[in-house]
Structure 1
Amino acid sequence: MTEKVKIQQQLSKLATHDDLTKLPNRTLLHELIIQSSLNSQRSQRSPTILLLDVNSFKRINDTYGRNAEDEVICEIAKRLSKTLYPKDVIARINGAEFCILVELSDPKYGAIAVARKILSCFEAAYTPDKQQLMVTASIGKHDTLKVQMPLKSYYEKPRQQFLILKHKKRMSISFSNNV
C-alpha cells in the first residue's frame, strides 16, 4: 500500500469517525441511514433510530473535569459496542448523545428490547479517575421509514421524547406511537 493511499484512508476515517470514541460520526451515520433505508425494501426490516442522551452530563465535567468526562464517554461507547450486535450502528453525534441505528423486523417491540439492552450498559458504575459515578441516560426512538423527511429531522422526534424525561434524571425510555 502506498503512502498516498494510507493518508487518504486516514483522512477518510477522520472525516467519518469521532476522534475520541472512534465510533461513526454524524456524517457516516447519515450515509448508513440512507443505505439502511434502501436495503429495507429488500430485507423487510425497518431501520429504526434510537437516540441516547446521557443525563446530567455537564455535572461530570463541572465536578470531575474534562478527562473524567472523556473517560465516561469512551466507556459508554465501549459498553454499547459490547452489548449490541456488530451489525448495529453506534454513532456519537454530539457531546453526550449517541445514535443507534438498528434494523428490526418488528420495530415496536424490537426497539423496546434494544433500548433495554442499551440501558443495561448504565447499571454498573463508571470509574473515571477512580471515582464511582452512577450515570443514567434517556432514549427516544424514530422509525425512519414511516415518514420521508430530511435526515437531520430524524433526530428531532427522539430528542423531543427524551428531553421530556431528562428532568427526571433517571434512566428512561420514551417512544411515541405516532412517529
Structure 2
Amino acid sequence: EDALVWNGTEISASVPVVLDIGAAGKGQLVDLLASVLRGAGTTEFLVDASGDMLHSGAEPLGVGLEHPYDPTQAIGVVELHDGALCASAANRRAWGDGLHHVLDGATGFPIETVVATWTMATTAMEADALATALFMVDPKVLEREFEFSWLMVYSDGHAAYSAGFEGTLFS
C-alpha cells in the first residue's frame, strides 16, 4: 500500500509524512514577493532569499558565487540582470561529514560527485528547481526542456558551465 497518494490536486497520506518543497518552494516565494513589489509599482529591486534571488532594474548586479567548501570565500562572480539566480550546495543543510540534503533517489544516499550548482533563469522557481536537478540530471537533458544557464562544481574541483553562463571564475 502506498503511504502517499497523489490524485490530481489532492495529496493524501495513510501515515505521517514530511513533504520538502525546498527544490522549488523558496524560488516560488521569491517570485511571489517580486510580484507584490511589481504590483505596488516598484520596478527596481532585489529579492534575496539566501542563495535564491531575483533582480529587476536597469543596472546589473554583481553577485559572488560562494565557495562550496568555505562560505567566507567566493569562487567567482556573475552579473544578474532582470532575472533569477539560484544556487544549491552540499555544504548547506548538512549534518555530518558527507551527509547533506541532496539525495540520490536510487540509493537514498547524499550525492557525492556534484558539490554546488548555480542556475540563471527568468523565474526563481524554475532556477531553484533546476539548481537542485543539476545534482542528478545531465544539463543537456534539462536544456532540451528549459531555457536557463548553469554552472556546476564537482567534488574533484573541476567546474562545467553552459555557454550562456556569463560570469568569471577565479583561479
TM-score (norm 2): 0.34
Structure with greater contact order relative to length (CA < 8 Å, sep ≥ 6)? 1
Hey, which of these two has a bigger chunk of strand by percent?
A: 2
TM-score (norm 1): 0.32
Hey, which of these two has a bigger chunk of helix by percent?
A: 1
